Structure 1
């Protein structure tokens, strides 16, 4: 089954923005991509996934979406198949990667501009594991779950390190009181290529203003001097 537009919200704003919703078949069931596009030609595309305990309406995801579109980026929020199916428990990581990869491959082409991938919590893990396969310029991790609460020995630092192995930048925006690993906890790892921006809050990052500010600070750098834009003109 091919991807299909299931809802065009151009005449029905979500907040101050309007989106197009595309249903995409994957090996684990249909996923949905919600696309918000700026008025002019996009200067980049940012694709974000949700966490294991919530959807694309999370305050930090919405705030980053709004700031990205305001900066001229196309923003895409991805609903994993388990969420589309109405399940309350997230799929295991391998199945999350299958759904995510299918969405990334099915998105309409947007050549000549940088791609940033990311998400919050489990969505950030998925983005780290798959960023190199999709040619990402950077990975944005909101509330990266460094370890299960109270289990620091179960570290997932190796996933944060994966993008740098492919020369991909990583920005982590982490709450100072995150039980899954605080901003200082991640900064102490001194992982190459990983920038940590600590903000007030816990894993939920409900104080989304500083989160959006931290991402907006990096958007111009991620969009600047993108080699694909030059190569594509040849």
Structure 2
């Protein structure tokens, strides 16, 4: 696997760091945005990139401008969307001929889906959400999912069954509205960060393998 550190410049003039992981036999590529509280170097992000490479999927991880600047306040949607588009454009040029997928962890997945709903991301053939933040913790609702109805790409939602940001009722309602275009992978006993309690009898490593195998199987099933 080749690992490349690089910089991306958005249409709004922001420059952000990124890391591309390219297996020698890549069949697909995933543009992978981070969550609200941790950047692209978080162990979860790195583990996903490594695991996807082992499954012949290249990965581009990148920072949002607020994270690049060391701020705790997330970017406004137009800034985040422009960053998603810059990352997708780089990946499309770097990995031509490969199936191009996009999405992210929590906030990163939501910003990617909003960008796609506003104006389709060039070359992207499917979206993968790892812990889609359907609502704030303790405030169940489906308003954050309204834009998903404007997306006509296959979508994979990977959700821990203890995810406080996607409680069962709102999540089931969202799944029903989206119908067959969306696939849902439930990770038993995992929370929003895909961590499990010791009493579950499972390890975080077990969860990561289930998550990665599920992503690979979904891509194969859709023949992406």
TM-score interval, smaller chain: 0.7 to 0.9
Task: Select the residue among 22, 27, 35 that pairs with 1:37.
Answer: 22
The residue correspondences of 1:18-97 to structure 2 (distance < 5 A) are 18-26=2-10, 27=12, 29-40=14-25, 42-97=26-81
SS of corresponding position for 1:147: coil
**Alpha-carbon distance in 2 for matches of 1:151, 1:28:** 35
Give the conservation status (yes or no) of the 8 Å contact 2:2–2:23. no
The TM-score, its normalising length taken from structure 1, stands at: 0.78
2:201 counterpart residue number = none
**Alpha-carbon distance in 1 for matches of 2:135, 2:81:** 19
Aligned-pair RMSD on alpha carbons?
2.1
The TM-score, its normalising length taken from structure 2, stands at: 0.81
Give the conservation status (yes or no) of the 8 Å contact 1:63–1:212. no
2:99 counterpart residue number = 114
Give the conservation status (yes or no) of the 8 Å contact 1:124–1:144. yes
Mapped pair 1:155 → 2:143: yes
- Any unmatched runs of 5+ in structure 1? 1-16, 227-234
CA 1:63 to 1:159, structure 2 compared with 1: closer, same or farther past 3 Å?
A: farther
Give the conservation status (yes or no) of the 8 Å contact 2:88–2:121. no
Mapped pair 1:141 → 2:122: no
2:216 counterpart residue number = 216
**Alpha-carbon distance in 2 for matches of 1:121, 1:152:** 16
| Runs of 4+ with deviation above 6 angstroms | none
**Alpha-carbon distance in 2 for matches of 1:153, 1:118:** 21
More helix by share: 2
Give the conservation status (yes or no) of the 8 Å contact 1:22–1:32. yes
